[in-house]
Structure 1
């Protein structure tokens, strides 16, 4: 234990230096300056007379800078008036001291919170001679209190303005506190339910389950469940209840019960389920196959028609890319274009494979699915067009036979001319004519001419499998002109043909395109009963397509007729079927081409056919 009796000389008398120290003011000055608390002696006029090191350190000033400065210089400006009454009472000798918490200003401008103690100092005759000021730094405490206050405000705001009911329960399940939402939702005020068991609010059938959750919360485990409560007015409400333990360090000292009214949510979910069921019924009633793909190309719905057409069930396709499975390829430009750009697209020449491996031709259309203007998927609608293709092929064959019959007369005339020549040369040869070699050459040329015409007619009339191959459009047009040239001469019609050479090949079914151009050129010929000229221009439209322009100088087509052009069985010809333009247009469409007709009455008609190159 420390010895505080002091040092004495051997004679028992205090040393002279110690005696001087004790008998002077140095002890006061030394104790004043070494005090941990910031201290100052202030004159009655408010000026600092003496300051200690702790005060200088607290405010960041040197001692010399503070001596003679008014003490209010250290005070926060807005707080000067707060304690003005205390200072006035001190100077009027109505108060000997006071203590207040207030703000001060550091030399760098920052704010310091301090506990200010002010005492009036008297001399031996009880006359005030100065003020003793002590300042204890409480900034850290104030910061902590502020955080605590903010936390409390946040908690109170969270509880007060929370739209969900929040109850504070004790360990017996009695209601201790409740937020305003309780009265808004249940009809009971806090005063009406305070101190009661939560059981009176709960529909009895749900009590066992909630009791179990309450007991778990007492063990520190959060749990939730849906239950019904009784409104003050008697009707039942479905709510979602959550029990949250209130922890004090490691101990549970209460339970929060948070309850959300889910009546409307459940009603909305029921409406959504009903709409979903109705939508599914509509989807299943459609004869076309329909399926949906999300942005990750996974299947999100699959109707019964899709299952019937392909053999795949929704479970087979769930989460998978159905397009890749059905086409057995990684293509699908229309599908990807819809996902990227949100455009509606279609493809009339696709092949789908069933689950058993069989294939069938389909025509499909893609449509984007939007959510808040964002593309979140694609709906693909497809149909089996095998029957339609069969019908179209039958129509094409019918039209072919019609075309062959119409050009038969011209072909017969074309064959008769070389036959006449052959007959005459044969007679010359029988009579022993000279220059036999020259006759033989002429006869071979005429026979080749007959063979070419017959071959073209057979190719046109003979049913063939549809097989797309790279072909020269120049050769196709030239073959058509060969077939129709004789008929044109008989009708006093001339062909003015201009073709760019070495055009790129097109991916096509040659026989179908020949049929299409025969129909178009024959229409142009029939539009000029008195003869005339038909311009045929073949050229490169752009880097992706070639174009054929057919221009006649016939009677032209009225706007009413032009609008109905291509309708089945609609025709202005006495013996026409109305299938020619329709068939030609469909063939060009199947080749991913474009077919455009422009006409003016009395001036003629221009037909433009654009076909993509390979």
Structure 2
């Protein structure tokens, strides 16, 4: 892997709009020759005001003499420097920064500039003070996450990777020495990253692209990338990349999709007619059994608020709608049948007669239960239908027979 000295005379044109991370290029006179847009915003000045200004002009003479100058002077000896601490600037007050200083040399080995990569980690520092009161076992679970930084030449060969990349991937610098960015990603991702890289070489900034790769331990990880072109004498000579590890997010996304598929399988594959709505009262699932019962397909119903059409002649809430709105007290208002039941878990059940169901109508038990997130907030509701026409008719038949018996007994008793 070529050292960063390989980038002789390059001036950055592309801004890297990555949250809380700012990039600059400083010469031996402590003057800014490049600043990205995010750096300008945090300083509270536009690019023209910062370019050709000295560090002391921006950060103040005290910060420059006491802290920054020492770091830059050491970096000009060819040694990368890291600094972490509190600094104050007029536009943003006192903030906690992590700063990486990288030597930037000409082909003859002389350091001509210093590249700085700066992170605002004030919130993380404030959290650290809170975590200091926690147990050691809990603290082991807390990991600070910073962005990885890579430099690649126009052929995609790694020229420089920062320590965060080494930590996240498990590879050492020798591994990156012989690899290109095309080797880094999974084989099935090569075409995608090639398209992204080629677009960047044509001068485009490529943001929020996701790729997978296999780390040094054989595990599949995911990253989100932001690439921008680097120019030398007006020609794109390579790229700078900001790498964010999103493996945990992808794992959670996969778990969510598995859970969603499982729920869909349970609901849609059930022989019992049922449907599910979200918190906006839109149909999420409409199963085959309900399609068969009412003749309305899932394609017609999912994504709409028309589930009432399967049961009523006019638009009115179903029991699932009342549960989503937290209006369980109105169930008796809409369902006049006395047989309304509920329990402490939010499960509601009632019976009603639907004349539009089949010949002569049907008696249905319909039950509904809320769907909640991890915090207990209602995110939807499931409503289940049960045809109890036969049992209801049998019940009515028994009542009629009982009444006839009572009438006969009254006549017999009267005659006696």
TM-score (norm 1): 0.38
Distance 1:182 1:407 in 2: 94
> Any idea what SS the aligned residue of 1:341 has?
coil
Deviation string, structure 1 residues 217-243 (Cα, Å, up to 9, x no partner): 12232166555535345x363434535
Distance 2:185 2:155 in 1: 16
Cα pair distance change 1:254/1:322, threshold 3 Å = same
Determine which of 172, 183, 189 is the counterpart of 2:166: 183
The question of whether the paired residues in 2 share the 8 Å contact of 1:334 and 1:366 is answered with: yes
- Could you say which residue in structure 1 is the equivalent of 2:323? 338
1:310 aligns with 2:323: no
Tell me how far 1:245 sits from its aligned partner. 0.8
Distance 1:333 1:213 in 2: 49
- Could you say which residue in structure 2 is the equivalent of 1:543? none
Deviation string, structure 1 residues 456-508 (Cα, Å, up to 9, x no partner): xxxxxxxxxxxxxxxxxxxxxxxxxxxxxxxxxxxxxxxxxxxxxxxxxxxxx
Cα pair distance change 1:143/1:225, threshold 3 Å = closer
State how 1:144-223 maps to structure 2 within 5 Å.
Answer: 144-146=58-60, 153=98, 155-157=117-119, 162-163=145-146, 165-190=148-173, 193=176, 197-204=180-187, 206-221=189-204, 222=206
The question of whether the paired residues in 2 share the 8 Å contact of 1:239 and 1:259 is answered with: no
Deviation string, structure 1 residues 80-138 (Cα, Å, up to 9, x no partner): xxxxxxxxxxxxxxxxxxxxxxxxxxxxxxxxxxxxxxxxxxxxxxxxxxxxxxxxxxx
Distance 1:407 1:338 in 2: 48
Greater Rg over alpha carbons, structure: 1
Determine which of 366, 375, 380 is the counterpart of 1:364: 366
Cα pair distance change 1:171/1:145, threshold 3 Å = farther
Distance 1:164 1:330 in 2: 53
> Any idea what SS the aligned residue of 2:166 has?
helix
The question of whether the paired residues in 1 share the 8 Å contact of 2:215 and 2:221 is answered with: no
Which 5+ residue runs of structure 2 have no aligned equivalent? 1-52, 69-88, 100-116, 122-143, 329-345
- Could you say which residue in structure 1 is the equivalent of 2:74? none
Higher helix share: 1
Determine which of 217, 225, 231 is the counterpart of 2:215: 231
The question of whether the paired residues in 1 share the 8 Å contact of 2:185 and 2:214 is answered with: yes
* Corresponding residue pairs, total: 273
> Any idea what SS the aligned residue of 2:309 has?
helix
State how 1:452-531 maps to structure 2 within 5 Å.
Answer: none
Tell me how far 1:247 sits from its aligned partner. 5.8
Distance 2:58 2:237 in 1: 24
Which 5+ residue runs of structure 1 have no aligned equivalent? 1-138, 414-614
1:384 aligns with 2:369: no
The question of whether the paired residues in 1 share the 8 Å contact of 2:224 and 2:246 is answered with: no
1:291 aligns with 2:278: no
Distance 2:207 2:394 in 1: 66
Distance 1:347 1:301 in 2: 21
Distance 2:294 2:327 in 1: 27
TM-score (norm 2): 0.54
RMSD across aligned C-alpha pairs, in angstroms? 4.0
> Any idea what SS the aligned residue of 2:315 has?
coil
Distance 2:278 2:176 in 1: 50
